[in-house]
């Protein structure tokens, strides 16, 4: 299941992209906008930095995008903050003596795989810029 890290990461990146005075972009300032703890902001920002989406300089407040918003896909953001996993879990050990239980795992694996691929393709087609355009 996707948790709120993805939405918070988009919020952080949107704030970075739209704030002209980068010195304002402290963890406390961003946390105030997101309405969360600065530790959460630092943790997610660290993931975004590790993924090469933002940069910061030691001893200087603020963050900067490393790419233009139109060059950052939502999939890039998703992969930066979400651990690789299946969106949907299949229950374990259905009854093999049951005609449904015997085949449900394989059937759902195929269906869920298609759904996850469609979601990932949609995230690839959307960019941070498309989010910024909607915020206006």
User: The pTM is what?
Assistant: 0.85
Q: pLDDT by residue (tens digit) across 6-57?
A: 999 999 999 999 999 988 899 999 999 999 999 999 999 999 999 999 998 8
Domains and CATH numbers, the chain: 5-135 (1.10.10.10)
Confidence at 1, pLDDT banded by 50, 70, 90: very low
Give the CA angle between residues 41, 1, 76 to the nearest 5°: 55
Q: Is the pLDDT of residue 84 over 80?
A: no
H or E element, residue 56: strand 54-57
Rounded to an integer, the average pLDDT of 87-99 is 87
Q: DSSP states of 20-55 as a string?
A: S-GGG--HHHHHHHHTS-HHHHHHHHHHHHHTTSEE
Q: What is the pLDDT of residue 62?
A: 87
- On average, the pLDDT of the chain sits at 92
Q: Is the pLDDT of residue 113 over 70?
A: yes
Q: What is the pLDDT of residue 2?
A: 57
Which of 35-39, 65-69, 81-85 is least confident? Answer: 81-85
């Amino acid at each position: 299941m996707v948790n709120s890290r993805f939405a918070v990461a988009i919020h952080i990146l949107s704030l970075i992209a739209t704030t002209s005075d980068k010195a304002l972009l402290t963890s406390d300032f961003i946390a105030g906008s997101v309405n969360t703890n600065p530790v959460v902001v630092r943790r997610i920002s660290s993931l975004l930095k590790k993924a090469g989406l933002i940069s910061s300089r030691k001893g200087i407040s603020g963050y900067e995008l490393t790419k233009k918003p139109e060059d950052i896909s939502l999939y890039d953001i998703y992969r930066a903050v979400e651990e690789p996993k299946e969106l949907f879990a299949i229950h374990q050990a259905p009854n093999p003596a049951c005609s449904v239980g015997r085949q449900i795992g394989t059937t759902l694996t195929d269906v869920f795989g298609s759904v996850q691929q469609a979601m990932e393709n949609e995230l690839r087609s959307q960019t941070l810029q498309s989010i910024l355009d909607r915020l206006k």
